[in-house]
Chain A
Amino acid sequence: DTVLTQSPALAVSPGERVTISCRASESVSTGMHWYQQKPGQQPKLLIYGASNLESGVPARFSGSGSGTDFTLTIDPVEADDTATYFCQQSWNDPFTFGSGTKLEIK
């Protein structure tokens, strides 16, 4: 299975720029997607196809990467962005998710 590795946690101040990384154990082309999950809620799609912003998601969110290295960027960060962020690949079978990066806003 394709393993997706994310750093466990980050802490930033409001107004700063934050990058969240996801590394795949094998190429997933641009079949990478990003989700935001707040406690007690279902995941919410932010970015699909590595760099495409889902409708209704603020333009502060952006994604980049291809192959094995991907980045989700939030610029500028707001207090409401406190959440866990997951990457997910749909290029290789079975689809897999990362373990998540917990973002704390100081």
Chain B
Amino acid sequence: QVQLKESGPGLVQPSETLSLTCTVSGFSLTSYSVSWVRQPSGKGPEWMGRMWYDGDTAYNSALKSRLSISRDTSKNQVFLKMNSLQTDDTGTYYCTRDDGRWNWFAYWGQGTLVTVSS
């Protein structure tokens, strides 16, 4: 079955770089796109960016200068790197599989909580 799982450090220092990994199973990264979505506690989610099935990327313009998404198809992994973290980057980070004509999110990872604090 389709599964996604996020991994990475739970605590990041201000101004440092966040590195997260999304490991997928049950589908191919060359057939489906994967997005990163984050959610501050008690707030609505925010779409961060996408690794398209063909290897191209798309980013939320609000984060584009700090964000990089890449993949390793041999390991079924998608990576997120975001630099210059601040306290308002604290939240739960999810990877999702994009589905359908309009890229809705039918499959989500369990999420990983990232706290930005010194």
Interface set of A (CB-CB < 8 Å, partner B): 1, 30-31, 33, 35, 42-45, 48-49, 54, 86, 88, 90-91, 93-100
Contact status of A95 and B103, CB under 8 A, knowing A42-B108, A42-B109, A42-B111:
yes
How many B residues are at the interface, by size bracket? Answer: 20 to 34
Q: Of residues 16 to 39 in B, which have CB atoms within 8 Å of A's CB atoms?
A: 35
Interface set of B (CB-CB < 8 Å, partner A): 35, 43-47, 58, 60-62, 94, 99-106, 108-111
Let me know if B108 and A48 touch, CB within 8 A.
no
Q: How far is the CA of A44 from the CA of B110 in the complex (A)?
A: 11
Main secondary structure of the interface of B (DSSP, over half): loop
Residues on the A chain within 8 Å of B44, using CB: 86, 97-100
Can you show 20 pairs from A to B with CB atoms below 8 A apart? A31-B102, A42-B108, A42-B111, A43-B108, A44-B108, A45-B104, A48-B102, A48-B106, A49-B100, A86-B44, A86-B45, A88-B47, A90-B102, A95-B35, A96-B47, A97-B44, A97-B45, A99-B43, A100-B43, A100-B44
